[in-house]
Structure 1
């Protein structure tokens, strides 16, 4: 990709969600996350998005293809020592 003109968060310039209805990424409680996750699945900056959400403790919405609950699980797995 070369130089990142947007700095540390330049990945946002390539995010597919920027071209999509933002409401899909912040569904009401009990609403479907299917459309947002479908968009994320084809996004080239999905990993950067997820890491941003984890680093900034994003509590709402779909980030990097994961829901709030799924991100919470990732955080807990990263904190816990690996068990055999």
Structure 2
């Protein structure tokens, strides 16, 4: 199977992700500002689990992914290691 086909399948959750309807600044807030609204939107998104898995697999270091902030993902990964 070609690499692109795998990537397309792995990223198919993005097609219906609620974050696609909001601007990137919503999920990449300025330092010191709240991530609460982004997390609430993530909580209602069908692709949340896949989004979080993508962020963890690709070591996304910034923004809210799958309902977790950078610090929360770091703690989650640290707990797994």
2:38 maps to which residue? 36
Q: Does 1:12 align with 2:18?
A: no
| Worse-matched range after superposition: 48-57 or 19-28 | 19-28
TM-score normalised by the chain length of structure 1: 0.84
1:24 maps to which residue? 26
1:74 maps to which residue? 76
Q: Which has the higher helix share?
A: 2
What's the RMSD between the two structures over aligned residues?
0.8
Q: Does 1:62 align with 2:64?
A: yes
What runs of 5+ residues in structure 2 fail to find an aligned partner? 1-7
